Amino acid sequence: MSSKRRKAKKRVKILIWSIVVSLLLIGAYFLYSYGIDYYRKYYACAGVKIDYYRYPVTGIDVSSHQGNIDWKEVYDSKVYFAFIKATEGENFVDKRFEKNWNEAKKNNIIVGAYHFFRFNKEGKEQAYNFINNVKLTSEDLPPVLDVELYGGNKYSEETKNKVLSEIFNCLRTLERYYERRPIIYTNVETYQNFIKGNFDDYDLWLCKLCTEPTTVKWQFWQYNHKGDVPGIRSEVDLNIFNGNYSDFINYLYRDNNGKEDIDS
């Protein structure tokens, strides 16, 4: 090979690598910009000041990420309810679910279990994963379906209707089995994209960190991701119920959360 051809080939390689690096840098810039904008929109705030006279029923939600929990200390700190991660997708079970569930109940904390919904999995199979691992009584909160654009969940305009269909299948399967209408957990972004106008009949557990939700009807509100609760070594999500103590008891024991509509 001649010297000129070698040099020309080298210049082509350099050009290709320059283009690749440039595209990667541009992509990284846009991802960074999106991340910063998202952070500023939902997280960059001083926190919400809760009116505990208006919202006295406080709770937390946990998963294996919180590690070993001293549930007696949690109860002593005036935590009244806890949502505990049970399952995810079609076969994942949180490794600390059973222990958290039993210990929380043993210490007189009202519990609810939640399932993290995977956009690329069948809704009924996800519901069966939850059903096979969660036994609910009348003294427990309704099952919760966690639907959010997080943890790898993605969609396009072509796949959105499919995702909505699988969410519906999961909700209805849970509803028919437990004879209680599930609660939907979601954040503001996912609510606007998937829940609003599609699943308005379900009680809403809404994550909104910077200001109190005033334009959406919610039953539970997750207002802090960095809570400090005795008995839990790591940061933990904080929640409140929309009502007073009597409202909470009535909500817990009401007629199986819409049982009469299950087979309609």
Catalytic residues: 148
Picking from 232, 61, 226, 231, the residue whose alpha carbon sits closest to that of residue 148 is 61
Picking from 115, 88, 109, 253, the residue whose alpha carbon sits closest to that of residue 182 is 115
Picking from 159, 172, 142, 151, the residue whose alpha carbon sits closest to that of residue 253 is 142
d(C-alpha 82, C-alpha 140), whole Å: 10
d(C-alpha 198, C-alpha 137), whole Å: 28
Picking from 126, 188, 118, the residue whose alpha carbon sits closest to that of residue 153 is 118
CB 241 within 8 A of CB 247: yes
Q: How many CA atoms lie within 13 A of 173 on its CB side?
A: 19
Q: Read off the tokens for 75.
A: 């109860």
**What residues does 87 pair with on adjacent strands?**
93, 115
Residue 226 CB partners (closer than 8 Å, separation 6+):
235
CB 124 within 8 A of CB 169: yes
CB 163 within 8 A of CB 145: no
d(C-alpha 23, C-alpha 25), whole Å: 5
Query: Vertex 238, ends 84 and 144: CA angle to 5°?
Result: 35
